[in-house]
Structure 1
Amino acid sequence: MKHRVVITGIGIHSCIGESVEEVATSLYQGRSGIGIDPVRKEAGYMSGLTGIVSTPDLKGRLGRRERITLGQPGIFAYLATEQALAQAGITPDYLAAHEVGILFGNDSCAEAVVRSADVIREKRNTQMAGTGAVFQSLDSTVTMNLSVLYNLRGINMTIAAACASGSHPIGLAWLLIGQGLQECIICGGAQEVNPLAVASFDGLGAFSKREDAPTEASRPFDADRDGLVPSGGGATLIVESLESAKRRGAKVIAEVLGYGFSSNGDHLSVPNAIGPAVSLRRCLDSAGLRVEDVDYINAHATSTPVGDAVEAKAIKDVLGGHRAVVTSTKAFTGHEMWMSGASEAIYSLIMMERDFIAANLNLHRLDPAAEGLCIPPERIDRHFDTFVSNSFGFGGTNSTLAFRRFQE
């Protein structure tokens, strides 16, 4: 790699907070963002559990022309990106004078597609769908909208990789910037939270049914877990070369050290341990890290019976006897899906900056498959310098990122 790659800004809009400070407080205090959506029950969902995420009206912040092309993923991404750019000190004038790219993870725009189709079927007139419908409906809705809103002229691409969608953009940015092909890229992930987005997942029986205790429903690595809890929002990281950050006088939050990836290649929905282990090893190799260097792993662990057990095996296979702390912040948020790879990197960066590791909430009885891993049910107040974050998705797509506290 020709250039060191760093993070200079982060932004988050999630069920545990709509700013970095709000999220930090939730993580530190063990505050879950999961609740019940009555609309889902009325619609025939087996489980009404979800992360409770607000969808603000952007009137007064954006003009009508900009708003009509932004569906829920675009709104969430815009809110997170505004925060990240502000922290990074990147202004509209800077964006106008420099080539900045965007790589964002998003793998569906279900609400926009369904509502447009419903209108067309009812009115028998395609024009009634509205001029903004097509721009809300494409998976590339986030990158196309934000590239215009922010006058971005660098790489412009959406990564659709199921639940690894938010992680791969950061890894690809690390590669592009490290090789000198770009200086600065806006990266992240977005996930819509409307009921239309995840109805098919509910139909598969993938969701927890623990509706009597919503905040205890997402329980990664717990032996009594019964499924994931869907969630979403928006997460953005400003990724740039160290030289670019120094020229701008920007404060560096952390360094991106490495990126690993793989494909399982054997089943659409059932994971195996081989692919995740390859991704984790490749990440450590690309970062020049030994397993002993890893202080913390933010596990993908979604609270599904098979997925958590398989990941635990993969982590143990790679780490051997090294006992890095392992937790899944999905215990707080549920599964933020296309956003999760980016948001979980941000959650981990927040914890590293503030010297704590959030609890693996709702861990009452450790799954035997995870025996030997250091998974704390309570918060640990500890300084740490290096972490990795796993993200795995349907179709066997795997991504692992490595970060380090910045050192000159």
Structure 2
Amino acid sequence: MTASKAAQKPLPPGRFGMPWLGETLAIIKNNHGFYKDRLAKYGPIFRTRLFGNSFVVFSGHEAFHVFATDPRIVRGDADPISAEQIFLNSLALIDGVEHHTRKAVMLRAVGYRSAIASYLPVMQELLEQTIDPWLEAGTGADLRADLQRYAARLTGALYTGDRTEEHAAELDVNLANMREAFMTLPLPLPGTKYGKAIASRKRVDEIIDEALRTHLAGGYDDIVSRMIVAATEADVPIENLRGDIRHLIFAGQGGYFVPLTLTTLVVGQHPDIMERARAEVREISPDGAITMEQIERMEYLEQISKEVRRYFAMNSATFFGRVQEDMEVAGYRIPKGWGAIGGIHINMRNPDVFPDPDRFDPDRFLPTREAALPPGSYVPHGDGQATHHRCPGENIVTVAVKVYLTLLLRRAEWSIPEQDLTLTNELFPLPASGLTVRFREHVAIAD
């Protein structure tokens, strides 16, 4: 379409709000609610003003796919200061050849089957340490806290080489502070949430710098050592890895404890799903070390893991982009220079693609049904090519959920007692109670 014809198209519906500030306070106050409310009011494509910039939010599978793959939308130069400071020097904020090169380095360490397989033993070991006290006591009083600490322990095992509990506790606190940066005004004053977030980011950088120094001396086989090898082969300076490792650690913390907590909740609420999953575990991996071959055969557990990421509001939106030239999407004019956002969670509640979207149904991801999904529809980790802006941790998160469910289903069944299950208003919404679960030993009935 020519620029003159595009100029005749209407702007997307929506409102800009106050000068400069626009709707910034609304998105800080309720990140997920912001997108949900405007989807209901304006439809899947709408305009807004955030942090002094005019933006278009893309949802609906066709528009989201355009956002993720059209070269006229370039990442970086549009993100809020909180993202720029927490993800400083990270590939999330750049595009082009450098991004693709550094992303390939990252994928070598967290995206490849061989790499993930090498992490399975420590993943299983640390999960068993987390789960055993629940099953011995018959309850997990605060699964969120326990699984959050598990994620911090795994970070120590896979990134820094420090497996002490003191190190895990320090990582846990600092990463929690960093998450708060996205839920408050970006005022970097001592004592404020944002000030603590920036201080914690600096401390995490110090931890990463020390890990890089020790790993360069050799003797490790983990994510950082694999990134060093891949970076050396690709002529990527080692100092450029700091921001990308920080990004992985930050995303991985939430990428583990959030889906594991929500998986426990929703499977506990659906005994039929629990027993169907247990039958698969008993057939494929009833005991012992869990292997990648077993993981890959667990089709129903994979369906559960994917439906958890569709159903729950884990990611509200992508990192932001910038429109490089006038374009037209779904009959709307998108002017050059506007910001662009992919609306992740609202996109996966599209009833045209996912009928009855408020129902939890792992069978949405039966292989034949998943193959029929249009591009841009199932996007918890983004869309497009792996070496572009799709999350590199997609496969390892799937494996983590499968390992976790396997270990639980081998030994226990569980239920969710009455408690406050209202999802919190935070970057990754979770039950307000922290999630209390009642466990009991599973007794197999003889055939």
TM superposition score category, shorter chain reference: under 0.3
Structure of higher CA gyration radius: 2
Higher helix share: 2
Please report the TM-score for the alignment, with normalisation by the length of structure 2: 0.25
What TM-score results when the alignment is normalised by the length of structure 1? 0.27
Bigger share in strand: 1
